[in-house]
Structure 1
Amino acid sequence: MDTQGRASIRFTVNGHRYDLSRADVANRLAGIMPDAIRKHGVRVNGAWFPVIQAFEAATGIPRTAPPIDHSAHIPPAARSGPRSPEAPEETSGEWHTEANIQAALVTDLVADGWRILSVANTATKERGIDVIAARASQTVGVEVKGFPSRGYADPARAGEVKRTTPSTQAGHWYSQAVLAAMRLRGKEPRWRSVIALPDFPRYRALYAETAGSLAAAQIEVWWVDQTGAVHRP
């Protein structure tokens, strides 16, 4: 991981090109009080910020500016196909939600010199690959899963406990992730196909049972721990 801020992400907004390094983001958010996170968060200097607040502070672009059109960079094959109706429904505030795992993954990839081509909106269950990134001649597509909670994210059901146990639901989510990764291998055989998971014993056990088959299919599994660190082969 580049701790000197040399890794950067390049993008264009309203015809203006930006080159933003990890050190730039850390310096510009130093001393800023994080707003409440409603959908997506990113960890900077040990604190979680709403992505839109971090982006505004780091770039100077007001929140009312037109959004970046990530979809223009996504191959048609990566945009096709609906997300599963059983996609994760999670309680906010937990480190192992899909949004938090995705944020940790994107932060790690940028720091390692990858260019982020697409990040799916997990809150709306946006169709397509969760994260697409490129570096040199490589492109990676990542299917991200969180770990199930016992409660619901919907405030109307805040007092309810899910009928399906987290362990059972984790098995369903793991199966969905494997299927998505296999489909990506078929659509984009030159890409690296990856599954990113929070590091829980249940997922580790499922991986141990399928590691040989995943290796044969050239599907990688990356692990995200409670600190947000990403462990890649």
Structure 2
Amino acid sequence: MSTQPSVWDLVGQFAAAQRGTWKQEEIVSWFRRHAPEQAKDSTVRAHVRGAAWNVGDRSQFSGREPFLTRVDTGWFRLATEEELARWREGAATPAAASEVPMVAQAIDEPPVEADRTDWHTEENIQRLIVERLRSTGWTIVRTANTATGETGIDVVAERNGETVGIEVKGYPSKTYARGAKKGQPKRTAPSTQAAHWFSHAILAAMKLRVAQPSWQSVMAFPDFPRYRRLYAATAAPLAAAGIEVWLVSQGGAIEPLG
């Protein structure tokens, strides 16, 4: 009598079939399509983390040998034999994660406040996203000129037959950055303006879902508490519409929400 493979085995099968790195949302989507009765999304995420040798706590799966490496928040790949050998010898601890290629050092850093640096501008967030995508095997098809306010989707990238379209927003500053009012305080509070930008991004992402239904539609923002709260208030309808939200840290780490 045949038996169904376990969730652990299915995670291994998925990972072995991938080329390079992949994000956690990809395997969650795969389970929904191919094994919906096997596991809830939370169970899949737990197994993926448990299969990675360099996560902070994998005690739930301590009796199983890991086979993945976490390369960034929400991003994984197959572990190399060298990494697994170090893990077996007891040398591979979460503290050694900085030795892993492409691990962002700012994964667990708190969000930087808006008035301390200009890292959170739309132009810079787009640059960080493009760099991260390229480093994880994506081909950049298009980037918008944010300096001139070019219309259209901000970033389009392809990998392994998949296409992602990303609407990028920054976080508002307290003063004008250019023009005749440069350096003068804005009349609209940054938190209020951020809500407007969030709603603009939703409209663009929904239009992309209609124009390109086979693409991943993503909204990307710098990692600020305001954007986390706005996402929490809209998470259910965004998920129903098939729209993803990514938060980008100052160090370039991408955290897919949901």
TM-score (norm 1): 0.59
Counterpart amino acid of 1:192?
Answer: Q
Distance 1:159 1:139 in 2: 39
The partner residue of 1:109 within 127, 133, 143 is 133
Stretches of structure 2 that go unaligned for 5 or more consecutive residues are 1-19, 22-103, 105-113
| Unpaired stretches in structure 1, ≥5 consecutive residues | 1-5, 8-45, 47-89
- Determine which of 127, 130, 147 is the counterpart of 2:171: 147
Name the residue aligned to 1:131: 155
Among 208, 212, 216, the alignment partner of 1:188 is 212
Q: Cα distance, 1:160 vs. partner? A: 1.4
Does structure 1 residue 232 correspond to structure 2 residue 230?
no
**2:197 paired with 1:173:** yes
Q: Which has the higher strand share?
A: 1
AA partner of residue 198 (structure 2):
Y
| Cα displacement (A) at 1:137 | 1.2
1:113 alignment partner AA: G
Identify which of 72, 89, 94 aligns with 2:118: 94
Please tell me whether Structure 1 or Structure 2 has the larger radius of gyration of its CA atoms: 2
- For residue 230 of structure 1, report the CA deviation from its aligned partner: 1.4
Q: How many residues align?
A: 146
- Letter aligned with residue 94 of structure 1: D
CA-to-aligned-CA distance 1:1-44 (integer Å, 9 cap, x gap): xxxxx89xxxxxxxxxxxxxxxxxxxxxxxxxxxxxxxxxxxxx
**Structure (1/2) with the larger helix percentage:** 2
| Separation in 2, partners of 1:125, 1:152 | 16
Shift of 1:105: 0.3
**SS of equivalent residue, structure 2 residue 146:** coil
Deviation at 1:195, TM superposition (A): 0.4
Q: Give the whole-Å Cα distance in 1 for the aligned partners of 2:254 and 2:227.
A: 15
Find 1:215's aligned residue among 222, 239, 245: 239
| Seq. identity, % | 58
| Number of the residue aligned with 1:37 | none
Q: Where do 4+ consecutive residues of structure 1 move more than 4 Å? A: none
- For the residues of structure 2 that align with 1:166 and 1:198, how far apart are their CA atoms? 13
Structure 1 residue 124, shift from structure 2 partner: 0.3
Out of 146, 159, 180, the position equivalent to 1:156 is 180
In the TM superposition, residue 155 of structure 1 has moved relative to its aligned partner by 5.1
Distance in 1 separating the partners of 2:153 and 2:229: 25
